[in-house]
Structure 1
């Protein structure tokens, strides 16, 4: 089940609990994406922001701040900052991947052009830094600027690791921390920092976001081979056709015999794919238990996320965050 499908799932309950704050975040996003001199900026931003999505990252910031007892205004700034960083990375990713569709709608680079997408992404990064400075917290700025650097570093690493059969699980994890977990962990961490939480609580929130992001990404990787088009928002097997070295494939390659390695070399490294190759890839992964091993990894990261927040103040939000960690991997159970 995709994260958007059913009512009253953990993220839905969080949204309902924090509805007033999330409405304020939406208002701030709308106000700050305006450009007086370049109307294309709000056009492109509104197209992507208006496509919907879970708003999970800003929701995590608001949840972390409220869980730690915050009553001030700046969690709204930080949630909008996190969403701007996320939106900027989506604009850049669609250009890099030459994507034509996101969330069921044509991508900005298709409707406008690559140059506009890259430049508007840059603008949103700049806007995010303007927003975070308004909090007056050097620690917050350090966390979010470090996360932005990690995201960019992860994207470059993914380019160099793509289609390289020597890519290890450690490299995969580094890529996932860049492309997904870095912003999850920054989102939760800054919520605790702005609330004045103690160091142990802030570390717990960081660990929760990091582990949640990794579990989330591994689950997505698994759904590409074992889910449905409705669950993943794209065609099943797209990662294989795009020659992406995701965790189940990396595990299968590590256990491959000479014949299987030749198959992965042809289909992934060289991109010479034929009818029936996806089914053969699935058979090889099944032979080595690669899908089950990756699933076990995702469940372990989910458990780590839940354990991290167990020591935080008892609060309905804590329970919802714990349920969310279960839910991101329930899709692969």
Structure 2
């Protein structure tokens, strides 16, 4: 994958759909309204926590790239963001996380029960908005996606502490827990815009490969990034006993002694072996391997865009594929 010199800040990512994004922000604020103050407090806390909002961006870019001119893509983008935010609330409870995007998680600030219940509220509100979009095909895709995402999260949970997870099982997990919502976002945006079968499939696959690239880099940064830039602690995945690709490759490429140490670290969780694991991950080329797989996925995403007519929206999707692998947070 050829590097891009374009900036990677969120404003640059959103520049092609600035007005649409402002409309999404307004809709998010309106849809967070609740007669229960705690729902609004937690909803605003996590929505305002500084994420790139890549999934709603995919909806907007996919629809606009095919010439969509109405306003239902705003509702669709908002409900996709609510679906994503609800998974973050639930994930942080499951993972017992205390830091996200550089500040305390909602479960750390309010406790587990309110976080889970507000996550349920956001999921439910997203389905209310889905009905307003009024497309049975989009409802079918998004409802199926929620099941796949939940299965991916359960799969990841059952893999915790298991050093025997192989690369195929790892990709199956991240396809469900991360790439599925990217895929559903671009796919539903295409359907809303009346895509041809070829364009619909291309945008579906674009989102899938982009999501895989994004998660691969996330897992890479857990062993390479800077805590301040990432907004979370280095080694969080290891502390939770998650067998991600850097560890899977390091066990396969390292010596028996190195593989034994990583297996022990995964089984135990915690950070007692962090320094030794970081050294093994570097020595075995696991970080370079993980980045190469991320670049492979980004290249596959880029190839899908050949089916789209030239436009600033297609250019933004190309830029997004580069950003997915070049980011440091």
Which residue number corresponds to residue 311 of structure 1? 307
Structure-2 separation of matches of 1:89 and 1:328: 20
Structure-2 separation of matches of 1:211 and 1:116: 34
- Trace 1:67-216 onto structure 2 (pairs within 5 A): 67-216=65-214
User: Which moved further from structure 2: 100-109 or 26-35?
Assistant: 100-109
Contact 2:170 2:245 in 1 (8 A): yes
Contact 1:309 1:318 in 2 (8 A): yes
Note closer, same or farther for the CA distance 1:243–1:111 as it changes in structure 2 (3 Å cut).
same
Question: Structure 1 length as normaliser, TM-score?
Answer: 0.92
User: Which moved further from structure 2: 321-330 or 61-70?
Assistant: 321-330
Q: Which runs of 5+ in 2 are unaligned?
A: none
Which residue number corresponds to residue 56 of structure 2? 58
Match of 1:330 among 319, 326, 329: 326
Match of 1:321 among 317, 321, 329: 317
1:239-260 Cα distance to aligned partner (Å, 9 max, x none): 2233221101011223344322
Structure-2 separation of matches of 1:163 and 1:119: 28
1:144-197 Cα distance to aligned partner (Å, 9 max, x none): 111111111111000111120110111111211122111111111111100001
Post-superposition shift, 1:265?
Answer: 2.8
Structure-2 separation of matches of 1:272 and 1:91: 22
Structure-1 separation of matches of 2:256 and 2:108: 42
Post-superposition shift, 1:216?
Answer: 0.9
Contact 2:101 2:232 in 1 (8 A): no
Post-superposition shift, 1:315?
Answer: 0.5
Which residue number corresponds to residue 222 of structure 2? 224
Which residue number corresponds to residue 294 of structure 2? 298
Post-superposition shift, 1:225?
Answer: 1.5
Post-superposition shift, 1:10?
Answer: 7.1
Note closer, same or farther for the CA distance 1:166–1:52 as it changes in structure 2 (3 Å cut).
same
Post-superposition shift, 1:82?
Answer: 0.2
Structure-2 separation of matches of 1:108 and 1:278: 27
Which residue number corresponds to residue 284 of structure 2? 288
Contact 2:75 2:129 in 1 (8 A): yes
Which residue number corresponds to residue 12 of structure 1? 11
Structure-1 separation of matches of 2:231 and 2:45: 18
Structure-1 separation of matches of 2:269 and 2:20: 47
Contact 2:250 2:259 in 1 (8 A): no
Give structure 1 regions of 4+ aligned residues with deviation exceeding 6 angstroms. none
Contact 1:248 1:291 in 2 (8 A): yes
Match of 1:278 among 274, 298, 305: 274
Match of 2:259 among 235, 258, 261: 261
Q: Which runs of 5+ in 1 are unaligned?
A: 1-5
Which residue number corresponds to residue 47 of structure 1? 45
Which residue number corresponds to residue 33 of structure 2? 34
Aligned-residue RMSD, C-alpha: 1.9
